Amino acid sequence: MDTKSYIAKVYRHPTPTPAEAAERTTAVLGSSPADWGLLLIRLTFGLLMAGHGAQKLFGIFGGTGLTATGTGFATLGYRPGKIFAAICGLSEFLGGLGLAAGLLTPLAAAALIGVMINAMASVTGAHGLWETNGGVEYSVCIAVVALAIATIGPGRLALDRFFRWGAGGWAEGAFALGLGGIAAAIALSL
């Protein structure tokens, strides 16, 4: 509904119906319940992933820090372990912050997808599906949520709303999945 029609409708009906009141609220705030839902998902998911990366990088939130994480990566065959640990930690930290803010969303999603593909290929894949057995369940969920946010778009309550990719779409989802897959393949081949 355009602005003129909306104003005419409001002035014809001094007491708005519930639907009209909801429409007015949406028009005033410029966002929908879906935008607020996406913000909730992005903030929760993104900040938890950033915290997960911070555990690796800085040793906070109960994490072991870069040196110990690097030793763990080296035992998995990633050499030099500390560099791969830094790449992983930065991908989780910056990818999580990017999703939380809705900034460079396809790139942030690609960072998390790439890390999760690596986790599935090098650690959890051999243990089946369920997390209780050390399986891929958790990694699949993270990768799918990141891919979904890139494809749906971060919503109006995001910094990306000013850019073309802020609306999401098939191209943005394909970019996130493709770049994450390529980065994972490179890391796994080294």
pLDDT along the chain (190 residues), means of 10: 54 58 55 92 98 97 96 94 96 98 97 97 93 94 98 95 91 98 94
* Closest by CA position to 105, among listed 157, 43, 49, 176: 176
Q: Tell me the C-alpha distance between 100 and 32, whole Å.
A: 18
Q: Tell me the C-alpha distance between 157 and 149, whole Å.
A: 13
Q: Specify the pTM.
A: 0.82
Which distant-in-sequence residues (6+ apart) come within 8 Å of 145 by Cβ?
A: 41, 45
Q: Tell me the C-alpha distance between 77 and 63, whole Å.
A: 21
Q: What is the pLDDT of residue 8?
A: 52
First to last CA, the chain: 55
Q: What is the pLDDT of residue 190?
A: 87
* Closest by CA position to 121, among listed 80, 88, 149: 88
Q: What is the pLDDT of residue 187?
A: 93
Q: What is the pLDDT of residue 28?
A: 42
